[in-house]
Amino acid sequence: MRELLVRAPRWALALAQLAHAASWVLLFWVATSQGIVGLTPAAIAWIHLVALGWITLTALAILIPLIPATTGVLWKAPRLQHLALAGFALGAICFPAAWLAFERAIPALGGILVVAAIFYVALALWTLAGAARGERVERAVARAFSLSLAIFAIVAIIGATLAGAIAAADIPAWFGNLARAHALLALLGWLTLLIYGVSARTLRLLFAVRSRLLFAHIVVGTLGMAGALLLAAGAGAGSLATMWVGAVAMAIAAVAYAVDTLDIVARSQGAMVVRAFVVASVLWSLVAVALGIGTLLGHHWGDAFGYVVLVGWVGQMLDAHLASLARTLPAWLSFVAFQSAVLYGVVGLLVGLATPVALAAAFGGLGWCAAIVAIGSGYRPIE
């Protein structure tokens, strides 16, 4: 696992970490200057800074060494792949900034993002097609990556459509439903399913333990995909019944993933702090399930749901992998600070108070500083 992280484009990982740091600064500013007042331009900027600038940029960078390592195929056009990643990085940083200072640039930046995303995905699918001649496991891994990346491309296309609609004099009637579908497909269809697929390989590298619940992988992959698509389709069509079917499927997938992952962690001998991050991530995913179901029942928990998926479930799983490079003591400080950031943020969004959210941002900033110290002091290049 360490070798994969070290071989990922360092400039992209560094830029993603800067976006991570900036997200806590932005969250603190929003909480202290605007309060918890709904989906403002600043809130939208924060969401995209986290989802694009931190998480997706990190994921796309790590996929560059991970795809060859897990499928046995080499990138068809590695220089073009890095060019696509650079284009996406430009859009991922500038797009959130436009929501804060230059809204007229939002459609153009949305166009840059979708072109870069489709370029990256097309090159990845071209590369993964070479795994069709490989062994059964490699073919299955390639299919999982291909599906996740195809959903990422769809998310990007929908996002660009929404960004373009903002330039219209009158916002179209379909805008609200499509925006909700975009959010759910991004959170569950792209980020969550990517973690389900990638962690099935990377946890084995982190802990040197194989899953012994192979049926859980079928449940997670099948119901996770179906649930994410049904939730997004139901949101787009305004069908609550369809969303409930998707939510049940997604909840079963989340529980199956949690059981399998916690079993792996319980049998592993890996670093305790890495195991703690993985366990925290899984537990936050179950909190997200509860908040999502509550939202469908009519509670105003949607903001807390989105926050815990991004920062708790997905964010802590990313931090778990980075902690494998870190020194133990500062890594534990970052663990405590990050879990406090998730907890205070969820509480603040649930009760509608800005003070806990500001505290979440402060803890998040502390966690980021500790993580950088931990990774910087524990980093060793591969000869």
Tens digit of each residue's pLDDT (9 = 90 or more) over 278-289: 999 999 999 999
pLDDT of 321 strictly over 60? yes
Q: Distance between CA atoms of 128 and 119, rounded to whole angstroms?
A: 14
Q: Distance between CA atoms of 95 and 108, rounded to whole angstroms?
A: 9
pLDDT of 383 strictly over 50? no
List of residues 6+ apart from 67 with CB closer than 8 A: 73, 75, 124, 127, 128, 145
Domain boundaries, the chain: 1-167, 188-267, 270-383
What was the pLDDT predicted at 49? 97
Q: Where are the beta strands (DSSP E) in 205-344?
A: none
pLDDT of 80 strictly over 60? yes
What is the percent of the chain with per-residue pLDDT over 70, rounded to a whole number? 96
- For residue 208, name the pLDDT band (cuts at 50, 70, 90): confident
Q: In the numeric block, which tokens belong to residue 235? A: 């949101």
SS3 72: coil
What was the pLDDT predicted at 7? 76
What was the pLDDT predicted at 205? 80
| pLDDT averaged over every residue in the chain | 90
- Within 10 angstroms of residue 168's Cβ, the number of other Cβ atoms is 10
Q: In the numeric block, which tokens belong to residue 90? A: 């430009």
SS3 34: coil
pLDDT of 318 strictly over 50? yes
Give the pLDDT confidence of 43-53 residue by residue, as tens digits: 999 999 999 99
pLDDT of 237 strictly over 90? yes
Of residues 194 and 171, the one with the higher pLDDT is 194
Q: Where are the beta strands (DSSP E) in 270-313?
A: none
- For residue 1, name the pLDDT band (cuts at 50, 70, 90): low
What was the pLDDT predicted at 35? 79
Q: In the numeric block, which tokens belong to residue 341? A: 């950031």
SS3 326: coil
Distances in Å between the Cα of 129 and the Cα atoms of 122, 132, 136, 196 are 11, 6, 14, 21
Q: In the numeric block, which tokens belong to residue 188? A: 């569950």
CB 133 within 8 A of CB 71: no
pLDDT of 6 strictly over 70? no
CB 197 within 8 A of CB 142: no
What was the pLDDT predicted at 293? 97
What was the pLDDT predicted at 213? 82
- For residue 222, name the pLDDT band (cuts at 50, 70, 90): very high
276-305 average pLDDT score: 96
Q: Distance between CA atoms of 88 and 83, rounded to whole angstroms?
A: 9
269-295 average pLDDT score: 94
DSSP state of 8: S
What was the pLDDT predicted at 17? 95
pLDDT of 377 strictly over 80? no
CA within 13 Å, CB half, 50? 28
What is the percent of the chain with per-residue pLDDT over 90, rounded to a whole number? 68
- Tracing tokens 């296309």 back to the chain, one arrives at 157
Q: Distance between CA atoms of 172 and 185, rounded to whole angstroms?
A: 20
What was the pLDDT predicted at 382? 42
- For residue 173, name the pLDDT band (cuts at 50, 70, 90): confident
What was the pLDDT predicted at 104? 87
List of residues 6+ apart from 28 with CB closer than 8 A: 358, 361, 362, 365
- For residue 2, name the pLDDT band (cuts at 50, 70, 90): low
Q: Distance between CA atoms of 364 and 237, rounded to whole angstroms?
A: 36
- For residue 133, name the pLDDT band (cuts at 50, 70, 90): confident
The model's pTM is 0.92
Four-point Cα dihedral 320, 204, 86, 157, nearest 10: -90
List of residues 6+ apart from 178 with CB closer than 8 A: 158, 161, 162, 236
Give the pLDDT confidence of 87-117 residue by residue, as tens digits: 999 999 999 999 998 888 999 999 999 999 9
